[in-house]
């Protein structure tokens, strides 16, 4: 089964996950199957800061995404 925003291998974030989250946030695409996992920064809300956090993690060595509850 598909896991959170992960597009394929569970618990492995890829550029496809970033595209999916961005499309959900900015283009009105359907939500990921597990909204809790889309809360990348663990703030309790899904917003643009989650996209920023994921970009920072993937491309700049930023902090790991929050664990799924």
Region 46-67 average pLDDT: 90
What are the C-alpha distances in Å from 30 to residues 26, 38, 64? 11, 12, 25
Cα 57–Cα 51–Cα 2 angle in degrees, nearest 5: 85
Region 44-63 average pLDDT: 92
Confidence at residue 34, expressed as pLDDT on a 0 to 100 scale: 78
**25 has pLDDT over 60:** yes
**Encoding tokens for residue 25?**
């946030």
Residue 36 pLDDT grade (very low, low, confident, very high; cuts 50, 70, 90): confident
Residue 66 pLDDT grade (very low, low, confident, very high; cuts 50, 70, 90): confident
Spatial CA neighbour of 35 closest among 47, 52, 53, 26: 47
């Amino acid at each position: 089964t598909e896991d959170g925003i992960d597009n394929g291998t569970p618990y492995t974030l890829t550029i496809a996950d970033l595209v999916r989250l961005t499309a959900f946030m900015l283009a009105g695409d359907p939500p990921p199957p597990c909204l809790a996992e889309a809360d990348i920064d663990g703030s309790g809300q899904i917003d643009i800061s989650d996209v920023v956090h994921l970009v920072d993690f993937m491309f700049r060595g930023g902090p790991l995404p929050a664990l799924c509850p």
